[in-house]
Chain A
């Protein structure tokens, strides 16, 4: 029932305009999230921040919940082939099929990255502690009953539990642990996830935040927001998603 409404919600956001990076999807699987408007929003946010990213010179980049691999592959292309010589990429997903598809996507674009099937970054958090300069996340953020969170297969790609915050709230402390002193977190949220509360919570841990991109979802759930939370207070202001322009 609610699964159904969540799928309808996906149909709604599919109508939005977007700009995409040139990623070829060489593999797919019925249980793996196909790049959708939220994926495009995140990649567009990274693209619009490309100059900052290049200047930032990240050495270690991590994606949590990589799905098809569309975002991490795009990030590697955005940072550039030559530059990527110096960048270590790591991506995780809880869905084994997703990781297999991501492997093929990365291979097709000549990107070397480590892939691990795991819950958020479990098993990596000791060794990657304070090493990650850029973390990107398009989390399952759709408000659903709690039971649907972390289910097998495609359900895990959107089911976000109460306020769509269950997985996000698991990711935030992990991000805080893994990010280096100059680390940045790019994350997609919905207005329904209460992004200003997320920013506030992260501000207490020493993160500044800014909205990189915002698009409306046309279904009453408010805007989809690609925001940057940066550990180093480079952007010493805090905004939150109340403007609903497209």
Chain B
């Protein structure tokens, strides 16, 4: 699971109001190189919650992202390369996503997050 996926997920447990971002518990992490595509990155920069990405990439052992973004940064290839690496190349292979409000863990197995709820959580 790349951090882009993480950035789109919130805890969906009934009654949880503060479900984003989910904390990461990393058991196994892998890095998979993918093609650098500045257009895709510029598009996604508008959709990503930056702070959540910064925190998640730190949890994955990558601390190169700036605390904040500025519009001018999209012109910097150096910045886009870091964003690319954090967003698309770091994968949580095994671990869990932890609901910030309840501590409930959503498992990530073989790189796929499972957000299915138990009956009493719906």
Contacts and interface: CB of A to CB of B under 8 A. Distances in A.
A117 B49 contact: no
Given A123-B11, A127-B8, A117 B112 contact: yes
A125 B11 CA distance: 10
B76 to A, nearest CB: 19
Contacts of B37: 85-86
Given A85-B40, A123-B10, A116 B47 contact: no
Contacts of A128: 8
Contacts of A126: 10, 19-20
A124 interface: yes
B77 to A, nearest CB: 16
A59 interface: yes
Contacts of A85: 37, 39-40
Contacts of B1: 114
A131 B39 CA distance: 17
CB-based closest 8 A-B pairs: A123-B115, A123-B12, A118-B115, A114-B5, A117-B114, A122-B12, A85-B37, A127-B8
B2 interface: yes
Chain B interface extent, by class:
20 to 34
B30 interface: no
A194 to B, nearest CB: 27
A138 B12 CA distance: 24
Contacts of B11: 123
B20 A117 contact: no
15 contacts: A85-B37, A86-B39, A87-B40, A88-B4, A88-B40, A90-B8, A112-B34, A114-B8, A117-B115, A119-B116, A122-B117, A124-B9, A125-B12, A127-B10, A127-B20
Contact of A99 (B40, B44, B106, B112): B112
B116 A94 contact: yes
A43 B116 CA distance: 28
Contact of B116 (A114, A115, A118, A124): A118
A131 B46 CA distance: 11
A118 B37 CA distance: 29
Contact of B115 (A86, A88, A116): A116
Interface string B61-103: 0000000000000000000000000001000000000000000
Given A86-B37, A99-B112, A117-B115, 13 more contacts: A86-B43, A88-B47, A96-B112, A103-B112, A112-B88, A114-B8, A116-B112, A117-B112, A117-B114, A118-B114, A119-B115, A123-B12, A124-B8
